Structure 1
Amino acid sequence: MLTKVNVKWREEAVSHFMTELIDYAGLFPPAALPLPKAISNFHAYIHESDSWMLGPFVIPASRLGELIPFKAQFNDQYPLRLSVILTKSEEIETEMEAIRLFLETYKTAGTIEAIEFPLPPQINSSFLENLEKRTGSYPIYCEMTGTNDQLLNTLETIHSINQKSLKRIGIKMRMGGIAANLFPSVKQAAFVIHECQKRELALKFTAGLHHPIRQYRTEVETRMHGFVNVFTASILAYSRSVNTATIQAILLDEDPTNFSFTTDSLSWRDFTVSSADIFKARSFFAASYGSCSFNEPQEELGELTIFHGEAVR
């Protein structure tokens, strides 16, 4: 039985599930660390045995210039990998220039893995086409807000643009925050996962996913979504085209024993996907999630008795 997450597991299924799953967002609440501390953490994480679970460091474009003093800590073998958040459409040219200057300074010691952009509730195709063109070849994930009708309009517009472009625009969904009203309902989360799957839109998540299984937390006085729930639901949506009701049921499940990893599969109740399915879904649909903690999610996952196999010590 697996009890710790301290090295890469032999089990292909859980390895595919966890590889580069957690983007480190230590600058953001509730941690809200000073940049030197967050960078120090990221530097330590990339040298740990669990570094294979780590995605890029998340940072607003407006703060890229603050990274110059830390260049000596990174190199081409252990680069500072970034996911950069652009802030406003009128600042895109300035912020893309900040990206160029970061890469010019860091050279092979730094990379840009993705760009994230918060969309207004109502957008049109010309806005998104312009955003796509102005962000170069970088993958882009758009964070959406608004009513279901507005979300559907945005998803359909992005789907239409993606069909005409070599570069695919993905979706970023906020799953929580520091207060109960920042957590989307299970119904809303399932709606976005299902609609993104229908349109083949890559999906990443942010905030509120510190814990593997859905649970009530006193610090926010609400139930927090579990990252195992969210990614199991997303993988099954992609691999098995499960309906919205099934996605909701997975997201609502607070019983960890309903989730099970074997060497080459992941199961939720009567639904099973192979390690190859997990790899494909993670590669093309369920990308990653941003968390201000890297250790907490993996440590809590390692404490669960949902693994059936032998860990590599």
Structure 2
Amino acid sequence: MTGSTPPGSPARPEAAARLDLDAALLDTLFARFFDDAALFPPGNAPMADAVPAHRRALAGPHGDLLGPFVIPAARLASLDGPPLDIALIIAPASLDELPDNPGPRVVAVETPVAADKDQTRFAVRTMAATLAPEVTRAIELPRTSARDEVLDALAGTGVRAKLRTGGLRADLFPTVDELAATIRACAERDIAFKCTAGLHHAIRHTDPATGFEHHGFLNVLLAAADPADAEAQLHRTDAATMAAELRAWTPSDAARVRSIFTSFGTCDVAEPVHDLAHLGLLPERIIP
């Protein structure tokens, strides 16, 4: 973790190091918010590096912010060492091929894009029949006209929506209007969501290397809190004001929003922690 200011972050406020953020708010707002997707692009970390790094992060000062280790089912056999909490990426039809005791603690299962309502209903039924009740489930939404029928099929099932928010090509980044509409569609059906890819930093920004416009994870958090005005929240770049608004939340406010926007995958957990520290949203013990 470096001391330089990342894209999308302001210079570190002088007050940040002196901040005494309410511990209950912090624990609620960012606990297990960052799913460790180190194996995936653009990081593409080797398993031999990613797993030890995940264990070190769990034992570090921001370990309580870390969610499960995200891994595709095809690589599960190469995961060794003490058990980890994992989020397994797997097609619904392959769930019954998993061993009864795969070793790692499967705490979440995420499936690829559901093309339509029939595929969604099959995935929901299969996960219900195969997984323990405490395992969280998510189905990636299509970025097509079928989105709403997939959401209709998810409504009332307890299965989360997975929203793609970026990738290695510009077309993998939804526009502000598209992402806002999807967040609103989830809210209208009382469906929680997680995000995958592209949320590298806290605040909306343009990546200087690629020119891609990235959504900020705090923008998405504020949009989840205010879906009727999601477009405006996703456009914001007034980082200091956004951070002040989050600091004014109560733990119950934070719990409500996190029940909607549950987590996001990041290939470098240090990046979001670094951003939050520079915004004064983490106490001194976590400032890098």
For Structure 1 versus Structure 2, the TM-score category normalised by the shorter chain is 0.7 to 0.9
Q: What corresponds to 1:116 in structure 2?
A: 110
Which of residues 80, 91, 95 is equivalent to 1:92?
95
Q: Report the more deviating stretch, 285-294 or 125-134.
A: 125-134
Work out whether residues 121 and 146 of structure 1, in 8 Å CA contact, stay in contact via their aligned partners in 2.
no
Equivalent of 1:171 in 154, 161, 173: 161
Match of 1:156 among 138, 152, 156: 152
Deviations 1:72-109 (A, max 9, x none): xx3xxxx51100000x3442322x33xx3323xxxxxx
1:64-75 matched pairs, under 5 angstroms: 64-68=76-80, 71=81, 74=82
Specify which of 224, 234, 241 is matched with residue 251 of structure 1: 234
For the residues of structure 2 that align with 1:10 and 1:273, how far apart are their CA atoms?
10
Identify the range of structure 1 (207-216 vs 296-305) with the bigger mean alpha-carbon deviation. 296-305
**Matches of 1:207 and 1:294 in 2, distance apart?**
13
1: CA distance, partners of 2:113 / 2:204? 28
Q: Which structure is richer in relative contact order (CA contacts within 8 A, separation 6 or more)? A: 2
When normalised by structure 2's length, the TM-score is: 0.85
1:132 to 124, 127, 132: 127
Unaligned runs of 5+ in 1: 104-109, 163-167
Partner of 2:139: 142
The answer to whether the 8 A contact 2:92-2:127 is kept is no
Matched, 1:63 2:41: no
Partner of 2:64: 52
Shift of 1:312: 5.3
- Tell me if 1:302 matches 2:277: yes
Q: Is the 2:61–2:285 contact (alpha carbons within 8 Å) kept by the matching residues of 1?
A: no
Question: Separation in 2 of the partners of 1:141 and 1:289?
Answer: 12
What is residue 182 of structure 1 aligned with on the other side?
A: 172
Q: Quick one: distance in 1 between partners of 2:283 and 2:102? A: 43
Query: Which residue type is aligned with residue 133 of structure 1?
Result: A
| Larger proportion of strand | 1
TM-score normalised by structure 1 residue count: 0.79
Q: Secondary structure at the match of 1:116?
A: strand
1:190 to partner: Cα distance: 0.9
Structure 2: where are the runs of 5+ without partners?
1-14
Q: Contact 2:162–2:195 (CA<8 Å) still a contact in 1?
A: yes
CA deviations over 1:46-95 (Å, ceiling 9, x no partner): 11011011000000112111113xx2xx3xxxx51100000x3442322x
Tell me how far apart the structure 2 counterparts of residues 132 and 49 of structure 1 sit (CA, whole Å). Answer: 34
Are the counterparts in 2 of residues 9 and 311 from structure 1 also a CA contact under 8 Å? no
2:201 and 2:262 map into 1 onto residues whose CA distance is 18
State the shift of 1:301 in Å: 2.0
Letter in 2 for 1:203: F
Q: Are the structure 2 counterparts of residues 132 and 91 from structure 1 closer, same or farther at C-alpha, using a change threshold of 3 Å?
A: closer
- Number of aligned residues: 269
| Structure 1 position 286 matched with structure 2 position 261 | yes
Whether 1:203 aligns to 2:217 is no
